[in-house]
Structure 1
Amino acid sequence: MNRTIAAGAEAPFVLHFRSLFHSGRGFEFPCDAGGQVDLDAMSERIRNNYLYARAMIGREVAWPSVRRISEASLQGA
């Protein structure tokens, strides 16, 4: 899993983009319970990955889902 989380982020939730082609791969970004990410808190690299994942919905990744960090950790993310 490409677990991309902003340095120092303590968000209890992640926005998870599952890869459509590679099982167990995808992107995760810290977010609130509603799936809102803080673009200003992200590094440029993380922000670019987030924007890429959003642009690739339906092409490379599935529609994102909000997960609790503990849920993502239990699933080996």
Structure 2
Amino acid sequence: MNMSTLAAVAATGRFQLRFQSLFQQGRALAFPCDAQGHVPMDDLSERARCNYLYARAVVGREYATPAVVPDLAS
């Protein structure tokens, strides 16, 4: 990530909590969060909320420990 990308992320403050699959490379679940990794569950759709709770429940079995990453899509 270059310095201009880091500056853009710092300015917008947009992050994702990303759960990477342990078995399928390239498969992951990502949810909007703050810089500390707190996901605003009330803002998620019902489907996203279910996926988030599922991903949390299977950390270490299906998904890796989540990481806070910059939301570059926004």
Q: What's the TM-score once normalised by structure 1's chain length?
A: 0.76
Counterpart of 1:58 in structure 2 is: 60
Unaligned runs of 5+ in 2: 1-11
The answer to whether the aligner puts 1:29 opposite 2:61 as a matched pair is no
Q: What's the TM-score once normalised by structure 2's chain length?
A: 0.79
Structure with larger Rg? 2
Deviation at 1:67, TM superposition (A): 0.3
Counterpart of 1:42 in structure 2 is: 44
SS of structure 2 residue aligned to 1:58: coil
More helix by share: 2
8 Å Cα contact 1:18/1:62 also seen in 2: yes
Counterpart of 2:16 in structure 1 is: 14
Deviation at 1:11, TM superposition (A): 6.7
8 Å Cα contact 1:11/1:31 also seen in 2: no
Q: Distance in 1 between matches of 2:50 and 2:13?
A: 19
Q: What letter corresponds to residue 64 of structure 1 in structure 2? A: P
